């Protein structure tokens, strides 16, 4: 598990909302925000895990709170901004991370499609739109939408997930354009294979075995850690990214740059004679 040195005090006085902040990339992002001085509101439907995360962070001296609910419910989305400002006085950043992981192909039902988009790009859009005026009240802010390498490629049996992640890219551009009037920048990141709960489950918990196997899909020869996605997210909301909006940042270890020959492992060939 990799770690990074925080930039001390970079977000002191700021308030971030991280959806799906109790696990994986969301949890790593929450921790990094806290380490750099921000107060963080975790929005997560898994109340028990969210409470445990907040308890741990507060115990370390950080400012954190949980708002638990279902992002498919419009009334719940509308509550998040007000509850955050009631607790911490402002909203500066939003990380739209929570996303449905229904991955179905031609067997997908209308219910599957509805769930995927409601708990994905639709929730991203509605929450971002509701928070932008609150960000404007304190000089503007920034939003990062979590997309995926799956937005760019075909993968078997994943019509729902890949289509919804693809929608995140055009949504990000549209949000960046329309929310600019509030002083809000909007970008996305597209992670490669990251050791989150779903990947760990698929590996049966055996990272030592599966990291080099799945790593062949990446130039760097390995899967990533959640903190390696969290760091670019923090960069994109920071003042260092003040002239970046409507963009996507691949955080994929070279996945999308790799050709069909692979990364030089078993599929490598000399090609000289």
**Residues taking part in catalysis:** 161
Specify whether the CB–CB gap between 186 and 172 falls below 8 A: yes
Q: Among residues 25, 255, 229, which one has the least CA distance to residue 151? A: 255
Coil, helix or strand for 208? Answer: helix
Specify whether the CB–CB gap between 185 and 241 falls below 8 A: yes
Tokens of 58: 């507060």
Coil, helix or strand for 102? Answer: coil
Q: Among residues 117, 97, 10, 113, which one has the least CA distance to residue 50? A: 97
Specify whether the CB–CB gap between 64 and 22 falls below 8 A: no
């Amino acid at each position: 598990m990799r770690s990074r040195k925080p930039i001390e005090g970079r977000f002191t006085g700021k308030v971030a909302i991280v959806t799906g902040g109790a696990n994986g990339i969301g949890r790593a992002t929450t921790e990094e925000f806290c380490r750099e001085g921000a107060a963080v509101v975790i929005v997560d439907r898994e109340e028990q895990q969210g409470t445990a995360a907040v308890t741990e962070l507060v115990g370390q001296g950080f400012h954190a709170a949980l708002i638990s609910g279902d992002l498919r419910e419009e009334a719940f989305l509308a509550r998040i901004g007000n509850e955050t400002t009631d607790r911490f006085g402002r909203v500066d950043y939003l990380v739209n991370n929570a996303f449905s992981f229904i991955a179905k192909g031609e067997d997908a039902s209308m219910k599957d499609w509805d769930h995927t988009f409601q708990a994905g790009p639709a929730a991203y859009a509605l929450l971002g739109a509701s928070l932008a005026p609150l960000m404007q009240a304190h000089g503007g802010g920034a939003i990062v939408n979590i997309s995926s390498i799956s937005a760019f490629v075909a993968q078997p049996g994943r019509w729902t997930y890949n289509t919804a992640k693809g929608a995140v890219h055009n949504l990000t551009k549209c949000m960046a354009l329309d929310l600019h009037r509030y002083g809000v920048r909007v970008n996305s990141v597209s992670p490669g294979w990251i050791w989150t709960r779903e990947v760990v489950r698929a590996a049966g918990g055996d990272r030592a075995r599966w990291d080099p196997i799945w790593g062949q899909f990446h130039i760097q020869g390995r899967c990533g850690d959640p903190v390696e996605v969290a760091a670019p997210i923090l960069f994109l909301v920071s003042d260092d990214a003040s002239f970046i909006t409507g963009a996507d940042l691949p955080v994929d270890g070279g996945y999308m740059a790799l050709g069909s020959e692979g990364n030089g492992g078993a599929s490598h060939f000399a090609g000289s004679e």
